[in-house]
Structure 1
Amino acid sequence: MSLEPAPPFVVFGYGSLIFKPPPNVVARVPGFLKGYVRRFAQKSHDHRGTPENPGRVVTLVHKEDWDIFSASDPFPDEDIVWGIAYTIDPEFEADVRAYLDYREKDGYTMEIMPIYGIVDGEETVIIANAYCYVGRKDNPSFIGSEPLPQLAHRIWISVGPSGPNKEYLFKLAAAVRELSPDSHDKHLAALESLVKAMDEGTETSG
């Protein structure tokens, strides 16, 4: 009696994994999540900031959870999160899991969720069970909603071992735009605009 092969390990990247993919990828496809928001609501002590001066990186938050404490959010209905679903070579699954667990160690928890795509003009589930690292609101690095000018200034000034925080923002915003003709993220675009204005000296910190 033959055993059914294990389902493939598919990880969904919505932050730095978009522009810095995991190793040993055998397939990748753009897609999106529904019912979540992507926000710079997570402190970064180890990549884009330091323990003394943490930067900000994105996390996913369930839409209903975000609505509870984010009345000032200027994009309350931005609940489609575009990213990339990566299928990992089964031979290296354990190694990649360990790599991702270490890379996402600063407050992230793995969850399983469906990935959607647009097929023949219709939204449909393209991957039923993908793994995704989520910074839940009860983790120590979760900071929640901040006024956009204040958040932009924090990103503008922060630097960590992986480089300037603004580099992370710029790479992510550009990568999301390139995923699909339909991909967009107003939150990323607004922050990108504010931080670039600070770079150009056309806006002061908030």
Structure 2
Amino acid sequence: MSLAKEKPFVVFGYGSLIFKPPPHTISQVSGFLKGYVRRFAQKSHDHRGTPEAPGRVVTLIHKEDWDAFSGEDPFPEDDTVWGIAYTIDPVYSAEVRDYLDYREKDGYTVEYVDVFGHDAAGKEIVVVPSAMTYVGRPDNPSFMGPEPLDKLAHRIWLSSGPSGRNKDYLYALVDAVRRLAPESHDSHLFALETRVRALDSELPRERID
């Protein structure tokens, strides 16, 4: 009697996992999501900030949830959430899942998403079905929701935590997304980068009020 094969463990990275992949990856596929928004809308108490002065990191948000907010930061229709789907060596699936759960423990919830790409004719297709990912739902205690872009940029520019400076996280993510999909639109990331780099050249380091 043959045994059914265990379903491969695939995780979709849309933030730091793009530039700092999980261990024991045996293959990876780049692609994009539909129906989600990527925003710096999650507090970081343990990586890019502290409990007393949390930084900001990206999370996925269902587009309908984001649209229900105040509208001060709408999601442009031509923006796309690009990332990478990593397939983990089955031998290490449990170990890597524990590692990721710890890494994403600050308010994230596991969901499963279809990852899209394009075939040779340019048609949208699902390239990876049902990949696991971590989503910051609006009801989690670390969720910030929309903030004015200048205030958010200032927070990122100032914040730092055990994993390093918050702005370095932003810069690494922007560079990774540009390399991953040069044709992609991610107005939120690129607008934040512009503002934070301007702060680098214009302002002395100071505390946030």
Runs (5+) with no aligned partner, structure 1: none
Equivalent in the alignment of 2:52:
52
> 1:42 and 2:42 equivalent?
yes
Distance 1:108 1:61 in 2: 11
Mapped partners of 2:79, 2:171: distance in 1? 21
Q: Which amino acid aligns with 2:149?
A: L
How many Å apart are 1:162 and its aligned residue? Answer: 0.4
Q: Deviations over 1:155-197 (max 9, x none)?
A: 0000001000000000000100101343331110000000000
SS of residue paired to 1:3: coil
Determine if the alignment matches structure 1 residue 142 to structure 2 residue 112. Answer: no
Cα deviation code 1:99-131 (max 9, x no counterpart): 000000000111011000122211110011100
Cα shift at 1:74: 4.8
1:60 partner letter:
L
Distance in 1, matches of 2:182 and 2:124, equals 14
| Structure 2 match to 1:16 | 16
Q: How far 1:64 sits from its partner (Å)?
A: 0.5
Match of 1:180 in 2: 181
Structure 2 unaligned segments of length 5 or more: list them: none
Tell me the amino acid that sits aligned with residue 158 of structure 1.
S
**Alignment correspondent of 1:190:** 191
Q: What TM-score does the superposition give when structure 2 sets the normalisation length? A: 0.94
Report the equivalent of 1:7: 7
Amino acid at match of 1:164: R
CA 1:202/1:52 → structure 2, altered by over 3 Å: closer, same or farther?
A: closer
SS of the residue 2:68 aligns to: helix
CA distance in 2, matches of 1:87, 1:54: 31
Query: C-alpha distance in 2, partners of 1:45/1:172?
Result: 19
Partner Cα separation in structure 2 for residue 186 and residue 53 of structure 1: 26
Task: Name which of structure 1's ranges 76-85 and 23-32 shifts more when overlaid on structure 2.
Answer: 76-85
Write the distance in 1 (CA, Å) between the matches of 2:151 and 2:203: 16
Distance in 1 between residues matched to 2:161 and 2:135, nearest whole Å: 21
Sequence identity (%): 67
- Whether the aligned pair in 2 keeps the contact of 1:36 and 1:79 (CA below 8 Å) is no
- CA spacing shift, 1:152–1:166, aligned 2, 3 Å: same
Q: Distance in 1 between matches of 2:78 and 2:107?
A: 24
Query: What is the CA–CA distance in structure 2 between the aligned matches of 1:162 and 1:70, rounded to whole Å?
Result: 32
Residue 153 of structure 2: aligned partner: 152
- Residue 2 (structure 1) shift: 0.7
1:108 aligns with 2:108: yes
2:78–2:185 CA contact under 8 A, matched in 1: no
Native 8 Å contact 1:27 1:86 kept in 2: yes
Q: Within 1, Cα distance between the matches of 2:101 and 2:34?
A: 24
Q: Deviations over 1:37-69 (max 9, x none)?
A: 000000000000000000000000000000001
Contact 1:155 1:195 in 2 (8 A): yes
**Native 8 Å contact 1:40 1:57 kept in 2:** yes
**Structure-2 residue corresponding to 1:33:** 33
Q: Distance in 2 between matches of 1:70 and 1:114?
A: 28
**1:35·1:79 contact (CA, 8 Å) conserved in 2?**
no
RMSD: 1.8
